[in-house]
Structure 1
Amino acid sequence: MNEKKKKMIKMIGLGILAFIVVLIFIIHFFLGFIVKAGAENIVPKFTGGPVNMGSFRFNMFTGKATMKKFVIGNPQGYKTEYAINLDNLVVDVDMTSIFSKKLVIQEIRIEGAQVIYELGLGTSNLGEIQNNIGKATRADKKADEKKEETTNEPKEGKKIQISHFYFNDAKVSMSAVALQGVKASVPIPSIHLEGIGKEKEGASIGDAAMEMFNSIFTVVGNMDGSGVGAVKGVGEDAWKKAKGLFE
């Protein structure tokens, strides 16, 4: 191979390398905007209320994503400012699974979330969000089944596995008439789920979201108000009384 060809190959190689570097920079810079816009448009279709994400950072080399101030709003008709405020959410993705049929998420960790449990007539904001997620997930499954029947081809949507889900250092505030305007705030017991979608085919995004939200709703719904007495003079009886009106 003569020097001219070697020089040309070297130039092409450097050009490709430069393109890859620029592409990585563009993806890294714009990914936050793309994910933020996507979350704020897609998640409400499941929860039935507005969603806002403060910021999103993703390291494509480590697979670690960090979200700040991820706020899940209430469905229409509720008065409190939000349902869940996720102050810090960290997702650790197995980058080797990015292009496989099942995306493996090693860990989802939520620290210091603020939950507002607003009780209404026979329902609650968290209960309604839970129902909305369930309805949206079932609707997606029916649409996939209908498409399979029409095309005679199996629907091969992206599945996920979440090896660990942590929900730590969170607090819940109850909003109800029985509390007479006083906010009763208590810590939520830590939650740790393992092996969501661990089965071979994995879980749909909707099913995984449902399992995580159900764990939070169940823990909050079963709380008896222990420890409320230390908060602004609100007693455990007030918490139980407020819940009892709507159960």
Structure 2
Amino acid sequence: MRRLFFWLIVLLVIAGAGLYFFADTVLKVAIERGGSSLAETDVAVESLDVAVTESEGSINITGLTIANPQGFSDSVLLSLQGINLVIDIERSSLSVLAIEELRVDNPQITYELGGGGNNMDKLMENIERNVGGSSSGSGSGMAPRYIIDQLIVTPGEVTIQLGSGKIASASLPEINLTDIGADSGGVTAGELGEIIMSQINVGVTTQVTVGALANVIGGGIGAVGGTVGDTGKAVGESIGGAIKGIFDRD
């Protein structure tokens, strides 16, 4: 579970390293095809723009969505209004990518509980299965590192959909972090994902209260109590997971 939303930002971060080589359409198709293949569900990008100057490069994605995996409803599991990545070319090297700003706008998540588990766990099972064959010998010492001057995840919403079809929702908090990796020579994609996951985990667990879920279920406070912590943890990990994972698996 810890790799859903990591898969997203790291995809952009790594894509940023190849900024000079990909035209807008090629990178858009690469994200859609690569993401869909790994997730075994539809990953779609509404539009993507790449811009490069002598000192700066940027990738701007509008309307990124990840559909529910097979066995769940037709709801979209994760949608992002936009993602913007700005790279400081002059400060970047082959081993360290300097990012001026990484911004994720308005994440919307549907956390669906069913008889066979939940949609996020199923999605992560798909991803882990499809990248599992490359876990050995990838040379973790060669993994690129990232310094991020500012990371912003704007407020969003998580919808909790139960097997009965009843729904509750809660706000996702804004995240605003600065100087990530500045004192350590950069962080790995996995470390970046963990930072984001922990921030969202705290906020979601606070927002998704026992009372809110109890109203949806119509009772059963004892059963709901465990769901609250699990849901907060799962959503935090999912937002972190899409950021970390398509190209990085540590």
Q: TM-score, normalised by structure 1?
A: 0.63
Q: Which has the higher contact order (CA 8 A, sep 6+)?
A: 2
What is the percentage of aligned positions where both structures have the same residue?
A: 21
Question: CA–CA distance in 1 between the matches of 2:177 and 2:121?
Answer: 20
Q: Which has the higher strand share?
A: 2
Match of 2:120, as an amino acid? Answer: L
Match of 2:185, as an amino acid? Answer: K
Question: CA–CA distance in 2 between the matches of 1:213 and 1:130?
Answer: 15
Secondary structure of 2:70 counterpart = coil
2:81 is equivalent to residue 103 of structure 1: no
Mapping for residues 65-84 of structure 1, pairs under 5 Å? 65-84=59-78
Question: CA–CA distance in 1 between the matches of 2:195 and 2:40?
Answer: 17
Secondary structure of 1:77 counterpart = coil
Mapping for residues 21-100 of structure 1, pairs under 5 Å? 31-44=23-36, 47=39, 49-61=41-53, 62-100=56-94
1:113 to 82, 98, 107: 107
* Cross-structure match for 1:14: none
Question: CA–CA distance in 2 between the matches of 1:140 and 1:97?
Answer: 31
Contact map agreement 2:170 2:208 (CA 8 A) in 1: no
Question: CA–CA distance in 1 between the matches of 2:123 and 2:199?
Answer: 13
Mapping for residues 182-201 of structure 1, pairs under 5 Å? 182-194=166-178, 196-198=180-182, 199-200=184-185
Question: CA–CA distance in 2 between the matches of 1:215 and 1:158?
Answer: 23
Secondary structure of 1:39 counterpart = helix
* Cross-structure match for 1:181: 165
Change (3 A) 1:41 1:218: farther
1:44, distance to aligned residue in structure 2 (A) = 4.1
Structure 1: 5+ residue runs without aligned partners? 1-26, 146-153, 229-234
RMSD (Å), alpha carbons: 3.8
Structure 2: 5+ residue runs without aligned partners? 1-18, 231-250
Question: CA–CA distance in 2 between the matches of 1:128 and 1:193?
Answer: 30
Question: CA–CA distance in 1 between the matches of 2:147 and 2:130?
Answer: 20
Q: Which has the higher helix share?
A: 1
Match of 1:167, as an amino acid? Answer: V
Structure with the greater alpha carbon radius of gyration: 1
Secondary structure of 1:41 counterpart = helix
Change (3 A) 1:223 1:138: farther
